[in-house]
Amino acid sequence: MTNMTRTLNVSTTQPGAYPTIRDALEAASDGDVVSIAAGDYAEPLRLDNRKITLVAVDAGTVTIGVRNSNDPTVVCRGGEVTLRGLRIRSADATALQVVAAQVKMLKCEVGGGYGAAISATQGAALTATDVKVTSGQFGVVFEDAGGMLDKCEITNISDDGLIVRVGSNPTIRNCTIANCGYRGIYVYHAAKPKLERCEVTRTGDAGIAVASQSAPTILSCWVHETQGVGIRFERGCRGSIEGCRIEHVASPGTVIDEGATVTVIEAGDGVHASRVGINAIEGATQQDEDRVERLLGELDSMIGLAGVKAEVRALIDEIQVNEWRRSAGLSVGAVSHHLIFTGAPGTGKTTVARIYGQLLKALGILPKGKFKEVTRRDLVGQYIGHTAEKTTTAFEDALGGVLFIDEAYALSRHSGIGNDFGQEAIDSIVKLMEDHRDAIAVIVAGYTGEMMDFLDANAGLASRFAKTFEFENYTPDELVLIAQRIAKLDDYELAPGVDVGLHEWFVQIERGESFGNAREARRLLEGMRKAQSGRLRALGRVPSRDELRSLVLDDLLAAAR
């Protein structure tokens, strides 16, 4: 039997929690999560062959640190360890030592003393994302190890910022190495790292130094403001330098010693300093790809709406590609997430809007994915100044998610009773959409013709929206499927022949502007349930379970009448 993952809480103040991290680790099993409350924990941790996750309840509020010790603060030897949101400190030695283990770090901060702040050795695999190394004799050392540093910052190091040696082959991308007393990056002893879009600056010697038969790939990096040369390859080394900027360094900038075999491709005009290092990913997001696929599957499961589904997928594709471009250091244009939904009632506009908000959350665009639905009544006040106040409150409640304004065209209609503040609401919406353009998705919905009048009510309104989605009326076949789905969700079954009767009803029913589509299907089923109740009560006995679940043709005929 597979053990369920447990969460063990650590807190010095919470009743029932473990008082120390080591107490929790002694009680934890493989796969468990140790959740640590804010505080300073002066305890060295030894994680030998453990499969465990240590996570701060609030990132940056948990400090694990020791003083007056020559031993590392945290040692991971063998096993698989995940560290999230932690600050790991050592005043005198290495802060984190990874030995023959797989360690994943996310949003951590590490400061060391003598030796490396972080060291990975003996076949270790270290993956660090959004990690800051703020002190140490050396910043990060890979020795006979691999893995990846992504969006990391190594600063204020007394010696070399990053050392890659003894055959190590990590990928270092979108990282900034700055304020190092000696070299920014030192590659030696047959190491083969890949350095992508990194910034190296303010070093006491060379920005990047390569020695001892090493063969790095250096791609689209920016080396500047160094006391020594920008990049140096010593004799016997191989590798490549492609599309790099070398600026304000010691002459001659790049040095390739005789006997080194290096391919050099000069940077083109398209390479820009602001697109390397941690600046390259400014505005990038953390995406939950599994949840994105689940939500798209939920969208696909909706009946009909082929055009709308294709449009939503096109938007998601565009967002995903923009994130790939941003991670590659390429420019990304501004994208509006505001949408217009037009069509008759009951065509799925609200449901699609909810899924869209959750997709934006899963893609990292909106932090909450919250959904707030409002109408004219929620936005328009009764006296001067009241409307702006109500509209602002609605926006603030929806920040981080979706504000769905149903029947938005009603804002542009005058009530005929003197002062009408609908126009004030529209003007406030335009301003708030600009002020909060990256913090909210506004979706306005309503009948197609009336929505055009609404967009004409303010010169800047239409330009705020990215796309218009047209929700078409459901066909009779689709309405039958919707009715069947509603019945099943409510634990009913349609008896034989009812589906044919439903189809005939939906074919002949008048489809005026007020036709409710899925709402019409639900209304009809409500009538059928009422008819069933009267029919079963007339039996003079307690009906069977199958009878309680079954909706028959007579129920449909009664409801249709």
Contacts 24+ apart (CB under 8 A), 139-145: 139/177, 139/180, 140/116, 141/116, 141/165, 142/168, 142/170, 142/191, 142/193, 143/119, 143/168, 144/168, 145/98, 145/120, 145/121, 145/170
Look at residue 233 in the predicted model and tell me its pLDDT. 97
Task: Please tell me which residue, 486 or 364, carries the higher pLDDT value.
Answer: 486
Q: How confident is the model at residue 539 (pLDDT cuts 50, 70, 90)?
A: confident
- What is the pLDDT averaged over residues 92-116? 96
Residue 561 pLDDT > 60: yes
Look at residue 362 in the predicted model and tell me its pLDDT. 85
pLDDT in tens, 116-163: 999 999 999 999 999 999 999 999 999 999 999 999 999 999 999 999
- What is the pLDDT averaged over residues 520-539? 89
With b meaning 16 or more CB within 10 Å and e meaning fewer, what string describes 143-165? Answer: bbbbbbbbbbbbbebbbbbbbbb
The residue ranges of every structural domain in the chain are 7-281, 289-471, 476-560
- What is the pLDDT averaged over residues 278-306? 76
Residue 415 pLDDT > 50: no
pLDDT in tens, 364-381: 788 777 888 888 888 887
Q: How confident is the model at residue 285 (pLDDT cuts 50, 70, 90)?
A: low
The least confident of 45-54, 166-175, 436-445, 469-478 is: 436-445
Look at residue 462 in the predicted model and tell me its pLDDT. 79
pLDDT in tens, 297-318: 889 888 888 888 898 888 888 8
Residue 440 pLDDT > 70: yes
- What is the pLDDT averaged over residues 226-244? 95
CB atoms near residue 412 (< 10 Å): 21
Q: How confident is the model at residue 287 (pLDDT cuts 50, 70, 90)?
A: low
Most confident listed range (74-78, 332-336, 435-439): 74-78
Can you say whether the dihedral through the CA atoms of 541, 547, 553, 558 is positive or negative?
Answer: positive
Right CATH for 7-281 from 1.10.443.10, 3.40.1710.10, 2.160.20.10, 1.20.1250.20 = 2.160.20.10
Question: Which position has the token pair 């929505």?
Answer: 451
- Helix (H/G/I), strand (E/B), else coil: 436: coil
Task: Please tell me which residue, 413 or 50, carries the higher pLDDT value.
Answer: 50
Residue 268 pLDDT > 80: no
Residue 9 pLDDT > 90: yes
The least confident of 63-77, 408-422, 474-488 is: 408-422
Q: How far is CA 453 from each of CA 206, 280, 391, 409, 430, rounded to the nearest angstrom? A: 64, 42, 20, 7, 15
Residue 358 pLDDT > 70: yes
pTM of the full predicted structure?
A: 0.58
Residue 439 pLDDT > 70: yes
pLDDT in tens, 179-232: 999 999 999 999 999 999 999 999 999 999 999 999 999 998 999 999 999 999
Calculate the average pLDDT of the chain: 87
Residue 3 pLDDT > 60: no
Look at residue 275 in the predicted model and tell me its pLDDT. 66
- What is the pLDDT averaged over residues 399-423? 72
Q: Examine residue 252 and say whether the peptide bond preceding it is cis (omega within 30 degrees of 0).
A: yes
Report the percent of the chain where pLDDT is more than 90. 44
Residues 385, 390: Cα–Cα separation, whole Å: 9
Look at residue 303 in the predicted model and tell me its pLDDT. 87
Look at residue 414 in the predicted model and tell me its pLDDT. 54
- Angle, alpha carbons 28-34-36 (nearest 5°): 140
Q: How confident is the model at residue 269 (pLDDT cuts 50, 70, 90)?
A: low
Right CATH for 289-471 from 3.30.540.10, 3.30.420.40, 3.40.50.300, 3.30.499.10 = 3.40.50.300
Look at residue 283 in the predicted model and tell me its pLDDT. 47
Residue 14 pLDDT > 60: yes
CATH architecture of 476-560: Orthogonal Bundle (1.10)
Q: Which of 167, 200, 157, 90 is nearest to 140 (CA)?
A: 157
